[in-house]
Amino acid sequence: MPLLVFVWLLVILSDCDSFFQSLPKCVPDMMPATEVMSKTLGNLFSMLLLFFLVANSLPLFAEVWMEFQFKTAVIKMVKQFLTLSPLMFIFQAKVIGHYVVNELRYGGATYVSTGRGLPTERRPFIGEAAEGGGKLKKVGGLYLDYASIAYYDGICLLANMLLLCIAGGNTDHLGWFFFSVSLTIVSWLFAPFIFNPYQFVYRHFREDWQCVWAFFTEDSGRHWVEWYDRTQLKAGQTSPRSCLDIGFFWAPMVITCWYVAMEMKIEAFVAMYSQFDGARAMYSLMLVPPIVASLAFCLVVPAAEALAGCSGILRRRLRLL
């Protein structure tokens, strides 16, 4: 969802200006980018969204129907939606996706013991206060658990949506899309607190506020500095992780931008030399560097290594490593 909003914002901001109608991509009767994106997203996000929300609860509906009766299953489904269960489903998907992506990027997944306490208990916001309320007795809570997993992304998605509205991307055809984005933002930011027992009791709210104040001010912010160093700053791993992030996320974006720029240049070339019979072949020739050249490189290099006798040496070195 954040990537889709980013692409949407990029398309709207790069739309043709009225002062540059002479460019090949800017023609007088050209459909605005806002209308194009609204129609595209309107087709993708429609009333089918309700079907996907209901589909998440279909296993529970079928199980209750088999064990009890159809009426009980319908009542259970209605209770699920009235208690905002889709918010928890969305947040659960976000957490699972975060850990799966981190496992693919870095590895090192381990088992997290859940303990033998009560299955449902109240989790503090940021820690437990000591007697007197001025200091922290124990650091740990919902904010620290999910800040880097969901809260930061939720704020970024909210900021992108605000920029999108300022840029003029809001139209009448995107009601379901805005509904799905709003549901995602609310889930990523508030789902843990909505389902936290006794979250909105005034006594616990006052204790949470005291813990927040102590977390950032006690001993010149010692608790915050220790948490940030432990979770955000890890010595010796910042540079490799940054390289992995660039390769894993930004490489497809760079390749896409390169292809779009190349396609625009080819289209301008074809427009200028439209009488040339082989002008249309340029669309096929533009695939030679990224596809044909790389394939030829992968075929020629192993053959050259085999002819030169280097392949056996490389294998032996790899075995020694």
Q: Which residue ranges make up each domain of the chain?
A: 2-108+147-196, 287-321
Average pLDDT over residues 302-311: 67
Ranking 96-110, 114-128, 272-286, 288-302 by mean pLDDT, the lowest is 272-286
Where residue 19 falls among pLDDT bands split at 50, 70, 90?
Answer: very low
Q: In the block, which residue shows the tokens 């497809």?
A: 252
Strand partners, 128: 138
Where residue 118 falls among pLDDT bands split at 50, 70, 90?
Answer: low
Average pLDDT over residues 186-200: 87
Q: List, in order, residues 6 or more apart from 103 with CB less than 8 Å away.
A: 109
Average pLDDT over residues 213-240: 73
Amino acid at 164: L
Q: Compute the half-sphere exposure of residue 13: CA atoms within 13 Å on the CB side of its CA.
A: 12
| Whether 40 contacts 49, CB under 8 Å | no
Where residue 20 falls among pLDDT bands split at 50, 70, 90?
Answer: very low
Q: What percent of the chain has pLDDT over 70?
A: 61
Which long-range contacts link 153-161 to residues 24+ away (Cβ below 8 Å)? 153/2, 153/94, 153/188, 154/184, 154/185, 154/188, 154/189, 155/189, 156/2, 157/1, 157/2, 157/5, 157/181, 157/184, 157/185, 157/188, 158/185, 158/189, 160/2, 160/5, 160/6, 160/9, 161/5, 161/185
Q: What are phi and psi of 127, to 5 degrees?
A: 165, 180
Q: What pLDDT score does 309 carry?
A: 62
Which long-range contacts link 43-52 to residues 24+ away (Cβ below 8 Å)? 44/177, 45/174, 45/176, 45/177, 45/179, 45/180, 46/176, 47/176, 49/176, 49/179, 49/180
CB atoms closer than 10 angstroms to residue 190: 16
pLDDT digits (tens, 9 = 90+) for 202-213: 888 888 888 888
More confident position, 228 or 38? 228
Average pLDDT over residues 23-38: 60
More confident position, 84 or 309? 84
Q: What pLDDT score does 108 carry?
A: 66
CA distance 173 to 161: 16
| Whether 68 contacts 175, CB under 8 Å | no
pLDDT digits (tens, 9 = 90+) for 280-301: 676 677 667 767 777 777 778 7
Q: What pLDDT score does 14 carry?
A: 63
* Tokens at 284, concatenated: 């096929």
Whether residue 101 is predicted with pLDDT greater than 50 in this model: the reply is yes
CA distance 9 to 156: 13
Helices (runs of H) and strands (runs of E) counted in the chain: 16, 2
Its pTM stands at 0.64
Whether residue 308 is predicted with pLDDT greater than 70 in this model: the reply is no
Where residue 23 falls among pLDDT bands split at 50, 70, 90?
Answer: very low
